[in-house]
Amino acid sequence: MHVTRTLIAAFGSALLGAALSAQVPASDVDAHINAARAAAGLDYRATFVNLCFAGAGPPLARGGGAARGAPTPGAAAGRAAGPATPDRAMWYASPYRIFDNLYWLGTRQHSSWALRTSEGLIILDTNFAWATQPEILDGLKTLGLDPRDIKYVVISHAHGDHDQGAAELQRRYSAKVVMGAPDWESTLQRPATAAGGVPTRDISVGPDGMKLTLGDTTVTIVATPGHTPGTLSYVFPVKDRGGNVMVAYSGGTLTGAFGTDAARWDEYVASQKKIAKAAADAGATVILSNHSEYDNAYTKARLIAVKREVGEDHPFVAGAAAVQRYFTVMTECATASKLRATANQR
């Protein structure tokens, strides 16, 4: 019943906008969902729907939350085997230079980023193995960059849609792979035949996070366990026409596999609050994800080429408050979902 009612409310809100927010919450669950809906606005609707309605009853988000949320080594290995290369017409996207020193190398669905420093490139997330050549390597060349300059590959979490390219970049360019310690453990249990291969352990990030400095650029890596036990999120500076812009990067999203594991829900919420604070402290005005459905990276990337009028901001610069609203959606949806999962247990 809850699911049905809240779903109707959620989709109703898309039509009615703020009108529904005046309704009195019928329960604590609804109060948190209303808070998430208000924070999401029109900017973060996919994050809101996928998070607020996952984990209770049958999977409602496309593809099912559990398929991408489970952290168990067996499941990770199964995912690593991955699908065969899908039809290119369904995923290929041209690469784009987003900021002076940040480049988007994603497919239409999943993002990979190159951060250019004075001493080489940092790749933030890879993608499925089949995207390494056409998107990352060919993309770098198209944008005038050299894959041989890749020094680090930072993996937000060990799921195949973000990490299958890591082993190839490590092998071909001697890039150092950076991953959360628990996600290294699950990665190293994959069979050698896993899609993309298995990287060798380089840099392992513990619960206190780390600062990764290459040349003139430092990426602050924040451990945000939840989506997987070793999920990492980041805060880092980029340049927009010479000016400083701070970016917050959310490393893991879905909660579909949490079930009734209260500690895991709490850990996830604490992690979102932690990265939200790091983003606020740094003055982050850009929110990035590794899925275009959450940060609209593919859409915004194509807007880079559109002339900016006087007073118009960069398409990715949303403002500090908007960055905080993103994490509020994650926190409030997870809180609602935990309550719902617990209620379903009684």
Give residues in contact with Zn ion (CB under 5 A).
68, 159
Query: Which residue number, 60 or 322, has a Cβ lying nearer to Zn ion?
Result: 60
What's the rounded Cα separation, in Å, for the pair 236 and 217? Answer: 8
Query: Which residue number, 68 or 314, has a Cβ lying nearer to Zn ion?
Result: 68
Q: Name the strand (E) or helix (H) holding 103.
A: strand 102-104
CB of 257 to Zn ion, least distance (A): 10
Q: Which two tokens stand for residue 268?
A: 């996830």
Q: b/e for 303-335, b at 16 or more Cβ within 10 A?
A: eeeeeeeeeeebbbbbebebbbbbbbbbbbbbb
CB of 79 to Zn ion, least distance (A): 9
What's the rounded Cα separation, in Å, for the pair 66 and 78? Answer: 13
CB of 301 to Zn ion, least distance (A): 21
CB of 161 to Zn ion, least distance (A): 6
Query: Which residue number, 139 or 251, has a Cβ lying nearer to Zn ion?
Result: 251
CB of 265 to Zn ion, least distance (A): 17
How many other C-beta atoms can be found within 10 angstroms of the C-beta atom of residue 183?
Answer: 26
Query: Which residue number, 138 or 267, has a Cβ lying nearer to Zn ion?
Result: 267
Chain position whose Cβ is nearest to Zn ion: 159
Query: Which residue number, 6 or 132, has a Cβ lying nearer to Zn ion?
Result: 132
Q: Would you call 273 exposed, middle or buried from its count of C-beta atoms within 10 A (0-12, 13-18, 19+)? A: middle
Q: Which two tokens stand for residue 107?
A: 């497919």
What's the rounded Cα separation, in Å, for the pair 1 and 4? Answer: 5
CB of 327 to Zn ion, least distance (A): 17
Q: What residues contact 221, with CB distance under 8 A and at least 6 apart?
A: 154, 178, 205, 209, 210, 211, 212, 232, 233, 234
Query: Which residue number, 121 or 222, has a Cβ lying nearer to Zn ion?
Result: 222
What's the rounded Cα separation, in Å, for the pair 335 and 340? Answer: 9
CB of 252 to Zn ion, least distance (A): 6
Query: Which residue number, 69 or 315, has a Cβ lying nearer to Zn ion?
Result: 69
